[in-house]
Structure 1
Amino acid sequence: MGAFNLLDCSVKKYCRWKKQKQHSPTRFLDKAVDMCGFNDRLDNLIYTTTNCFQEEELWVFLFEGLKKKALGIDSEIKAREVYDSKGEAVLQEMDLAELEKSYMKDFDYGKALLCWHIATEICYNVEEDENDKNRKCSKILSDYLTYLLIHQPKLTAAVAGITHERYVETCLEVKESANKLGAENLKDFCVKALEVHDEENGEGGYNREHAEERNHDAETGGRGKSVLHDARNLARILINHVNKWEIIVRVWVEMLSYAAGHCRGNEHARTVSRGGELLTHVWLLMAHFGITAEWPKN
């Protein structure tokens, strides 16, 4: 089990690049690694952390969260809605229809995950409250699911979408944005990214027409696969909510249960031989609570 942070990886790479001299051996080495296609492997080795699930409160939180979801199931239709929700159900329940429509419903799983991952990281670095359990759990789940999406793609292959291209373009845009903002570190980037307003959105509000254009570009293989723009706008909306960490952490629990439920059984079995994954524990817990594709009628 590991954790991977897209923003941390990209901003650190930019900061390292900025400190290097134009013709330094390190720059040539970076270019060679990039040309050989070894970037993902090195990112996995350098920027992935392990032992990220030592917090007992996280396990309790997941158990209680899944139990609550199961208690709300009273019909086959409701069971299917819960099983197939990657965050929409939570946003609808909390009367956040615009968030659900603009930053979840129209996105495939991979795009939604990366968008919420970046937005979570921005909110996490802009505000510091070590006593907020929802904030802490949000960070852990966000980094863990991003790690699975990027570095364990077989576990999310059934729902991921065009993940790798979107991930690469997002990383490139983060580096370009860090350069434009003159970011010195991750926290500095998050603060400045939140303050910048995109021209197409005037004051940083969500512009539906431009979002649809970006979605069309992504679907047709053109420009626009990066999710940084959407993630910044989402972060601006979330940061103003009093209960933002309750919103965010509940979305991440649904993202996790969605990935666990839709992962192929043979892939879950393979993780056991490698020491297991949190995803598999959640899958088994969902089966125990009856959160499955086939709702038990008795």
Structure 2
Amino acid sequence: MSATVSFKVPTPHGTSDVSVSYTRVGRGEPLVLLHGIGHHLQAWDPVVDIVATEREVIAVDLPGFGASPGLPDGLAYDLPTTNSVLGALFEALELDRPHVVGNSLGGLLALELGREKLARSVTAFSPAGFWTEAERQYAFTVLRAMRGIARRLPEPLVRQLSRTAAGRTALTSTIYARPGRRSPDAVVAETLALVAAAGFEATLRAGGTVRFTDELPGLPVTVAWGSRDRLLLRRQGVRAKQLIPHARLIRLPGCGHVPMNDDPALVARVILDGTS
């Protein structure tokens, strides 16, 4: 079951209350999971039970996504603000430099938290921020198209499509290499989450000039990329390795942009190895 925590974050006009939805399971060193743009914390469901056998796992709905409300007026969806929000979240949950694992946007945020010395280790699956300008424009165009299609589909049609492997492929093949493995209920839920994501457009606007260029010296870093990632192409993983030379770069055979669904056992092992 998810819970909600509220905390104060500074703004140019004082402090504002921010609320974040999260789940917390397992025992061991704390490990925070961050999803990608338009998704929600349930993206991690295929791996949570495995990882929770060895870690205390906190899966988070980023502000403006999933069950977390959007940021209040005066707070932007840019990296400095999100770093501040997540740092305040860690304080509210009494997390002292947890391991941070992220996918896509969440991978970039995990790296940012590492740069800010707020993470004990970072594991990033297909993180944003290692693109060329052409690659960024391509990814943003695909993301906007995905959301546009999802918003035009009536919910009964989404539910009907989700009942067959072919329908789940039509709805999710951009992010999953093996969409037929995703459960019908999960596909419906994440399609509705994409439609309702209050922070979607503002996050894309803020990401127009984002590049990650820090070497993160002294921080354990793992970067993993699906061999069948159709959104952020796998050559960006090589670029990440060049920028963070000490990082482990891992290829995920047969996995797409959101690999947790495609190969849960492999992804869980990468997480546990990267946080040991």
| TM-score, structure 2 as length reference | 0.28
Going by fraction, where is helix more abundant, 1 or 2? Answer: 1
Highest Rg: 1 or 2?
1
| TM-score, structure 1 as length reference | 0.27
Going by fraction, where is strand more abundant, 1 or 2? Answer: 2
